Structure 1
Amino acid sequence: MAKPEKVLFVCVENAGRSQMAEGFLRKFAPHLDVISAGTKPRSQLIPTVIDVMKEVGIDITEQKPKELTNEMISQSITVNMGCMDKESCPALFVNDVIDWNISDPKDKDIEKIREIRDQIKNEVLNLIKKIEEQ
């Protein structure tokens, strides 16, 4: 089986979880192509998300929220971070999706965002392992 060309992390606003996942994958598997996107992207990342990623040595300040496209989906392994907004949930638009069901960091305190960050890190490391085993 051929290794995937791209990994796509999706959530509604593309301002927190999916951006953290993108940052972790870039760090731990730089040989993989990664992108994140959302169905209703915000204008910028959640500032506290940027801060907690810096705590673990990952700078995501240059990453920007992007709108999810069919082209992104068709060329990628797609991971849905979780959905709080059922009407805009990216999983509704993707047939073959991995769903992690991770809490949205929006409006959470820094300790909760750190927990979310660490959960995402573990999921990304497990995903990399599965991809490498293919």
Structure 2
Amino acid sequence: MKKVLFVCVENSARSQMAEAFFNKMAKSARAESAGTKPAAAVNPMAVEVMREVGIDISAAKPKMITREMLEAADRVITMGCISGELCPATLVPTEDWGIEDPAGKSIEKFREIRELIRIRVEKLVEEMER
């Protein structure tokens, strides 16, 4: 089974939303997410905006990225953290989606980011399941 690793710094919003969307949509692949400096918990606004679309990520926990995660992944996608000192995922072929961090922003911004992630994940699932 193919595997995707979504990475952002805190693993508290963007990468968690991407993982949840991917795992809901994909039939023949799985995703996980991780961060380079994981937060203590998933951002409550990320939980709220995902709940609005019927996906519960309230039990998700931010995780530290590991070499094993990178080596097991067929695709590594960073969510906009592509800087050498913060995102070591660049040690393997990596695609950066350049998605703005919604932390500290309005619920409307979280919804906008959620929809951008949903659209990108739909395209990724279609591509990987051909």
TM-score normalised to structure 1 length:
0.89
Deviation at 1:96, TM superposition (A): 0.2
Distance 2:87 2:106 in 1: 23
Give the letter for the 2:81 counterpart: C
Deviation at 1:31, TM superposition (A): 3.7
Question: In the superposition, relative to structure 1, how do residues 62 and 31 fare at CA in structure 2: closer, same or farther (>3 Å)?
Answer: farther
Q: How does 1:1-134 map to 2 (within 5 A)?
A: 5-76=2-73, 77-83=75-81, 87-92=85-90, 94-133=91-130
Give the letter for the 1:81 counterpart: M
Question: Is 123-132 or 79-88 further displaced after alignment?
Answer: 79-88
Q: How many residue pairs get matched?
A: 129
Distance 1:68 1:35 in 2: 10
Give the letter for the 2:7 counterpart: V
Distance 1:110 1:84 in 2: 25
Contact 1:20–1:49 (Cα < 8 Å) also in 2: yes
Offset from partner CA, 1:2-34 (integer Å, 9 cap, x none): xx5211100010000000001101111154221
- Return 5+ residue gaps in structure 1 as ranges: none
Identical aligned residues as a percent: 49
Give the letter for the 1:80 counterpart: T
Question: In the superposition, relative to structure 1, how do residues 120 and 91 fare at CA in structure 2: closer, same or farther (>3 Å)?
Answer: same
- Return 5+ residue gaps in structure 2 as ranges: none
Offset from partner CA, 1:63-121 (integer Å, 9 cap, x none): 110000011001111111112876312444x3201110000011010001100000000
Contact 2:36–2:88 (Cα < 8 Å) also in 1: yes
Distance 2:98 2:119 in 1: 13
Give the match's secondary structure for 2:33: strand
TM-score normalised to structure 2 length:
0.92
Give the letter for the 1:82 counterpart: G
